[in-house]
Every structure is written in C-alpha cells, then in structure tokens.
C-alpha cells in the first residue's frame, strides 16, 4: 500500500479567445492582481457560478442529455467584424 496517494487528475484546459471592451480587460486584470490570482481563474469561477445559479440554463441542460458517443456542445467561433476581408 503506497504511503502517498496520487493527486486527482487535473481537468483538461482549453483555450478560448474572446473580444471584450478594453475597460473590462483592465478591471479583470486589476481584480486578478487584487486577489493574487490569474484572470483565467476569475473567468472560470464566474462562469461556473453563473452556470450553477441560472435556473433556466439548468433546465436546458436537463433537457439536453447527450449520449456518451456525442461530443460536448460546442459553440462555433465567429468574428462578425469585417476587419479582415477575404482577398480576391
């Protein structure tokens, strides 16, 4: 029997790219500095709290029961800004 137990497996992290107002970014970074953590930690914690507290979302999730063969729901990334028009 081992003396130490192996740590629980860490969740797989994904990268998400978002566009937010500059002022929101500044406040996010300031808040992260204030509580001595990362901006990622704050965003994850706030999203988890939002998901837990939103009763309509909980009902939606309860109605959506994917089979084990289905992949998790994904929201396609879209960029509606015409800042990079296609070259012809």
Would you say residue 74 has pLDDT above 60? no
pLDDT at 88: 41
Q: Note the pLDDT of residue 65.
A: 74
Instruction: Give the pLDDT confidence of 22-31 residue by residue, as tens digits.
Output: 999 999 999 9
Flag whether pLDDT at 67 surpasses 60: no
Name the residue among 43, 37, 35, 36 with its Cα closest to residue 14: 43
The per-residue pLDDT for 47 is: 96
Main-chain dihedrals φ then ψ at residue 87, nearest 5 degrees:
-80, 145
Spell out the alpha helix ranges (H) of the chain: 22-34, 39-53, 55-63
- The pTM of this model reads 0.64
């Amino acid at each position: 029997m081992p003396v130490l137990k192996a740590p629980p497996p860490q969740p797989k992290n994904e990268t998400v790219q978002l566009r937010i107002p500059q002022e929101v970014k500044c406040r996010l970074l300031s808040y992260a500095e204030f509580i001595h953590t990362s901006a990622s930690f704050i965003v994850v914690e706030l999203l988890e709290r939002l998901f837990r507290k939103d009763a309509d979302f909980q009902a939606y999730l309860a109605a959506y029961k994917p089979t084990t063969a289905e992949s998790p729901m994904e929201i396609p990334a879209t960029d509606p800004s015409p800042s990079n028009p296609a070259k012809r």
